[in-house]
């Protein structure tokens, strides 16, 4: 994975690097030899990153910038189930605590990553902030219902990306902020919900597709919502 469209010699950052996709992304970025440093951020990294703690986000992004020009940051954090919660099948399953956690991790946390990282991007040359969204966050594509919290939090994330991209373009016109749907990947997040006949990628396959997508992106893609082949997805 060359990532040749991104100026060489900068820093790459993966938030959520302890997860399946995040780890694969960090490995692929390192293999590209395009960056002087690939920073892996997660709860037990040094510095640690807790997506629900703004202070840790500020420390982690400042540390990353101290290593050089950040040319690529991928947010691979996300929350679908856990701690006794499962995606809702009906409105009877709605729970305020579950919804709050979904929004905290899937929307607020990434927004705070943008708050602290985007102003630190170089003022010239390609730089990319990409966050992993989900096709189920598409409002117009929702034909099955259910999964209220996950759908709504990812839809919120898409709007945040769109809004941040507009502000980013004013001071850093060559920078890009996008939401990418990685597809179904064999990770603990999606494993309980993989259906028979559904195309399931390995984390390394997903990482390769995501980075190839980013490599081909230009500023016309900024603020958009895409699959990993750079096909636009409906809002």
Position 83 scores a pLDDT of 83
- For residue 13, what are the β-bridge partners? 39, 73
Position 157 scores a pLDDT of 98
In sequence order, the 6+-apart residues with CB closer than 8 A to the CB of 54 are 112
Cβ atoms of 217 and 178 within 8 Å: the answer is yes
Q: What span, in angstroms and rounded, lies between the C-alpha atoms of 201 and 181?
A: 13
Go through the domains of the chain in sequence order and give each one's CATH number.
10-227 (3.40.50.720)
- pLDDT tens string, the chain, 235 residues long: the values are 579 999 999 999 999 999 999 999 999 999 999 999 999 999 999 999 999 999 999 999 999 999 999 999 999 999 999 988 999 999 999 999 999 999 999 999 999 999 999 999 999 999 999 999 999 999 999 999 999 999 999 999 999 999 999 999 999 999 999 999 999 999 776 656 655 557 899 999 999 999 999 999 999 999 999 999 999 999 9
Position 193 scores a pLDDT of 60
Cβ atoms of 147 and 87 within 8 Å: the answer is yes
CA atoms 154, 159, 160, 164: torsion sign? positive
């Amino acid at each position: 994975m060359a990532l040749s469209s991104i100026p060489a010699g900068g820093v790459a950052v993966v938030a959520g690097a302890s997860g399946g996709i995040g780890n694969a992304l960090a490995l692929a970025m390192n293999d590209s030899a395009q960056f002087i440093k690939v920073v892996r951020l997660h709860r037990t990294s040094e510095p640690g990153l807790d997506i629900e703690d703004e202070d840790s986000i500020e420390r982690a992004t400042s540390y990353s910038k101290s290593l050089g020009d950040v040319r690529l940051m991928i947010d691979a954090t996300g929350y679908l189930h856990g701690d006794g919660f499962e995606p809702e099948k009906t409105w009877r399953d709605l729970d305020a605590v579950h919804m709050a956690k979904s929004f905290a991790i899937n929307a607020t946390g990434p927004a705070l990553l943008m708050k602290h990282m985007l102003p630190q991007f170089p003022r010239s040359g390609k730089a990319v902030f990409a966050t992993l969204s989900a096709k189920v966050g598409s409002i117009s594509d929702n034909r099955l219902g259910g999964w209220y919290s996950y759908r709504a939090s990812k839809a919120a994330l898409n709007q945040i990306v769109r809004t941040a991209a507009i502000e980013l373009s004013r001071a850093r016109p060559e920078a890009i902020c996008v939401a990418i749907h990685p597809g179904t990947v064999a990770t603990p997040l999606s494993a309980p919900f993989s259906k028979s006949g559904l195309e399931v990628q390995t984390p390394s396959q997903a990482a390769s597709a995501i980075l190839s997508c980013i490599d081909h992106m230009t500023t016309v893609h900024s603020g958009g919502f895409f699959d990993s082949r750079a096909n636009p997805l409906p809002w």
